[in-house]
Amino acid sequence: MSNLHDHYHLLIRGGTVIDGTKAPRFNADVGIVDGFIAAVGDLSFATADQTLDATDRMVAPGFIDSHTHDDQAVLSQAAMPFKISQGVTTVVTGNCGVSAAPLRADMDLPMPLNLIDAPAEGRFTTFAAYLDALRATPSSVNVAAMVGHSTLRGLIMSELDRPANPTEIAAMRMHVEEAMAAGAIGMSTGTFYAAAAEATTDEIIEVGRPLTARGALYVTHMRDEADKILEAMEESFAIGRALEVPVVLSHHKAMHAPNFGQTKITLPLIEKTMKHQCVSLDCYPYTAGSTMIRADGGMLGGRVLIASSEPHPECAGRDLAEIAKEWSVSKEEAALTLQPGTAIYFMMDEDDVQRVLAFDETMIGSDGIPLGDKPHPRLWGTFPRVLGHYSRDIGLFPLETAVWKMTGLTARNFGLHGRGTLQVGQHADIVIFDAATIRDAANYATPTEPAEGIDTVIVNGTVTWQHGMHSGARSGQVITRQDKVAA
């Protein structure tokens, strides 16, 4: 607690602070100067340019979405209403092996590189150019960006259905070095997808060499989240050990009915591994996943909802089984006809989802895909769903823990210095919400409904969302990797 100033640019009065460290809540005012938190405590005698009344409200650090595909959206949909409206002030981009840079104007974007909707015009040929564009035309949220291994494969390799040769590996490694020098916080892989499925463990290690010197992250959508999940986890840990960098297992889950309950084995394995290497994980609070429309690998075993389809936009929001019946074709054939597009797959068990969410070290990441009119509701609802449904209604963990999983824990794991906790000296990324009413309003039928119970969202000291309205502010910053030595 400190009270060095008696005048603030912004003063939040009368709220209950949940500071993002998992510490118990406490009553305090929060004073902001020049985009930073200047004081937390009794500021009843202070004055301010702008005062917000937070009586009966929680005041927490802005939420950090550890897993997004917002790479292009932070430029093309810079207001980011689907994230700001749920209290998210920072997004981590470049997940699942896919990033907006580096690309070439003339290159194809095979699945899943089209996840991020990069336009043919004005593509970024270097990572530095991407980050410069974000600085020149800021988003409403802060961005911490990673470079994607599948994107590099698409850039460098003439065909993707084989391992990279030494020349290609060297070329990809140069791009990783460029991305690291520009400020990327890590590299991601998505060996689950055809674009990188043939990449060997050695290819990933050799391409990822520049991560080591900077202590940057290795973040992975693993090769397998179903029958071979344990082997896939061991591979991910081995890559982390070879590069001596932290590993993040993305959207941890056990896919398909025969594997339900597998998280009883995977979580203890993570816990055991954490004792001798740096490992973390994230998860989204739903039993359905979403990715590009696929017709393989048992993806069509459960219920499938079409989220978007380029050739058949009229099918968005419809059940694949129904479409197949109407067309008198198999689900596989219907899926192939609907490509390219995105779909929602009901493929997880609620017990596994709750077990992963409740695991102490699990961060919250939406994995939202900002494409089309009928996206997976996680794009608009992830964070309020954890706070409302899972913390308050089901009692899976205390509110302080829920907030920590989306703020302090994430900032620590991703090395986002100066973010994630509500303390003096930190960037003033703040969300004010009503713990009694916060809830996700987005569901599979109406997936773009803004959350309820979010009062005010502040990004770097600027009010960006208030009472259901975007202020138009674009005060997001680019968060770059700080060198291991300096950190």
Q: List Cβ neighbours of 341 (8 Å cut-off, separation of 6 or more).
A: 292, 293, 306, 307, 308, 309, 310, 311, 312, 372
Task: Select from 54-62, 146-154, 213-221, 410-418 the region that touches Zn ion (CB under 5 A).
Answer: 213-221
Both tokens assigned to 65: 């979405």
Site pattern 100..139 for Zn ion (x: CB under 5 A): ----------------------------------------
Distance CA(81)–CA(431), nearest Å, equals: 14
| 73 lines the binding site for Zn ion (CB under 5 A) | no
Query: In this complex, which beta carbon is closest to Zn ion, that of residue 220 or of residue 309?
Result: 220
Q: How far is the CB of 299 from Zn ion (least distance, A)?
A: 13
Q: How far is the CB of 421 from Zn ion (least distance, A)?
A: 28
Sign, Cα dihedral of 418, 473, 386, 67: negative
Please name every residue paired with 281 in a beta bridge, in sequence order, or none if there are none.
Answer: 249, 362
Task: Select from 21-29, 54-62, 91-99, 282-290 the region that touches Zn ion (CB under 5 A).
Answer: 91-99
Which residue from 25, 221, 253, 419 is in contact with Zn ion, where contact means CB under 5 A? 221
Q: How far is the CB of 34 from Zn ion (least distance, A)?
A: 37
Q: How far is the CB of 291 from Zn ion (least distance, A)?
A: 7
Query: In this complex, which beta carbon is closest to Zn ion, that of residue 252 or of residue 392?
Result: 252
Which residue from 28, 96, 217, 247 is in contact with Zn ion, where contact means CB under 5 A? 96
Q: How far is the CB of 251 from Zn ion (least distance, A)?
A: 6
Q: Which amino acid is at 310?
A: E
Q: How far is the CB of 220 from Zn ion (least distance, A)?
A: 9
179 backbone dihedrals φ, ψ, rounded to 5°: -65, -40
Query: In this complex, which beta carbon is closest to Zn ion, that of residue 221 or of residue 256?
Result: 221
Q: How far is the CB of 41 from Zn ion (least distance, A)?
A: 42
How would DSSP label each residue in 186-230?
EEEEETTSHHHHT--HHHHHHHTTHHHHHT-EEEEE-S-SSTTHH
Using CB under 5 A, count the residues that bind Zn ion.
Answer: 2
Task: Select from 84-92, 176-184, 220-228, 292-300 the region that touches Zn ion (CB under 5 A).
Answer: 220-228
Cβ atoms of 281 and 248 within 8 Å: the answer is: yes
Query: In this complex, which beta carbon is closest to Zn ion, that of residue 66 or of residue 426?
Result: 66
Task: Select from 88-96, 354-362, 412-420, 436-444 the region that touches Zn ion (CB under 5 A).
Answer: 88-96
Query: In this complex, which beta carbon is closest to Zn ion, that of residue 221 or of residue 419?
Result: 221
Distance CA(259)–CA(340), nearest Å, equals: 28
Q: How far is the CB of 422 from Zn ion (least distance, A)?
A: 30
Q: How far is the CB of 192 from Zn ion (least distance, A)?
A: 7
| Strand pairing report for 279-283 and 217-221 | unpaired
Query: In this complex, which beta carbon is closest to Zn ion, that of residue 21 or of residue 191?
Result: 191
Site pattern 361..390 for Zn ion (x: CB under 5 A): ------------------------------
Tell the burial category of 470 from Cβ atoms under 10 Å away from its Cβ (0-12, 13-18, 19+): middle
Distance CA(3)–CA(5), nearest Å, equals: 6
- The number of angstroms, rounded, from the C-alpha of 226 to the middle of its chain's C-alpha atoms is 21
Cβ atoms of 433 and 453 within 8 Å: the answer is: yes
Task: Select from 26-34, 93-101, 127-135, 265-273 the region that touches Zn ion (CB under 5 A).
Answer: 93-101
Query: In this complex, which beta carbon is closest to Zn ion, that of residue 100 or of residue 473?
Result: 100
Distance CA(441)–CA(381), nearest Å, equals: 7
Query: In this complex, which beta carbon is closest to Zn ion, that of residue 168 or of residue 282?
Result: 282
How would DSSP label each residue in 302-359?
S-EEEEEESS-GGGTT-BHHHHHHHHTS-HHHHHHHH-SEEEEEE---HHHHHHHHHS
Query: In this complex, which beta carbon is closest to Zn ion, that of residue 145 or of residue 334?
Result: 145
Residues near Zn ion (CB under 5 A) are: 96, 221
